[in-house]
Structure 1
């Protein structure tokens, strides 16, 4: 006989109300990421925005599944034409343009950070900051790879344009996201 709170393997399953709560939070993080896109400092082809704080927090606070779903929702809203990308941009052209890799990296980063927090979460801020930093590195790996292809840049050129100007800001974003995720749980 299977208990209502466990699946056939004996693992705890989510209740319908828990799933609804997670959907609401995933929607909230998709919306916060869109709002973060409007808080921008132009620094060349890749603007400095607050999106990454919300991406990293989504993974840390919602876990791998719901964190990545929130970023998939965000990305699909932008592709569908809602002005949720940096500077109010939208459409598939943004994904295919120089910043598209960073946006796709949001999905992967939320998943990776969520996985790390689900499996290794601690109350120690420095360790959680390393998990969040890993997520930030995932975003840059996707972004730089895409930038090299789309803009026909060498690795050094892509790093010079798409990473170096953002290192200080990225570290601040990591610190903020790690602090909030360590302090508050959803």
Structure 2
């Protein structure tokens, strides 16, 4: 298999893993607890560089055309237009930024150094934070337009209470797991993707 074929296979496998993550959810109000957010970021950090967002993009495209790969086995444009649709865009943005920060993986990363730990930690953390931005914006617009805000709360406190604060502990835990996984797997990905010069 040539270099392009190997990269395509890795991207497809990572996208499939992200899709499978959609069936592992914990319902919690309007926004479920999912694994897909951290899987998109982890895949991006493993691939790194220009192709970092490809696994997330492939997963999102599959769901957009109707495959039931989004959280809870959903798919189609309706999910994008719903209250959590912004998070889907956030998965891609977070993945691209995380992959950019992580950079192209190298076989030399087998020897884990302090700078690699800092870079990969920053990449995963930044990706996880960035994915919230379009999610919060879309949820706020949905809540404001639909009159979903209780009278005793303003838009900001309602949005934070519904789609940010309850998820932070779990996202910190997912981030803490993703960082060592990325550090361990990046040199392996570099070896098989033939990314070394």
Q: Give me the TM-score of the superposition, normalised by structure 2.
A: 0.80
Q: How far off is 1:107 after superposition? A: 0.7
The 10-residue stretch of structure 1 (122-131 or 49-58) with the greater mean CA deviation from structure 2: 122-131
Structure 1 CA distance for aligned equivalents of residues 113 and 13 of structure 2: 24
Please name the residue that 1:51 is paired with.
Answer: 36
Cα pair distance change 1:162/1:174, threshold 3 Å: same
Q: Does 1:129 align with 2:121?
A: yes
Question: Which of residues 116, 123, 126 in structure 1 aligns to 2:101?
Answer: 116
Q: Does 1:17 align with 2:2?
A: yes
Structure 1 CA distance for aligned equivalents of residues 182 and 98 of structure 2: 11
Q: Give me the TM-score of the superposition, normalised by structure 1.
A: 0.85
Q: Is the 8 A contact 1:123 1:182 kept in 2?
A: no
Which residues of 2 match residues 2-151 of structure 1 at below 5 A? 17-118=2-103, 123-124=113-114, 125-151=117-143
Structure 2 CA distance for aligned equivalents of residues 130 and 136 of structure 1: 10
Structure 2 CA distance for aligned equivalents of residues 55 and 159 of structure 1: 23
Please name the residue that 1:174 is paired with.
Answer: 175
Which blocks of at least 5 consecutive residues in structure 1 are unaligned? 1-15
Q: Is the 8 A contact 1:74 1:84 kept in 2?
A: yes
Question: When the two structures are aligned, how many residues end up with a matched partner?
Answer: 171
Q: How far off is 1:52 after superposition? A: 1.8
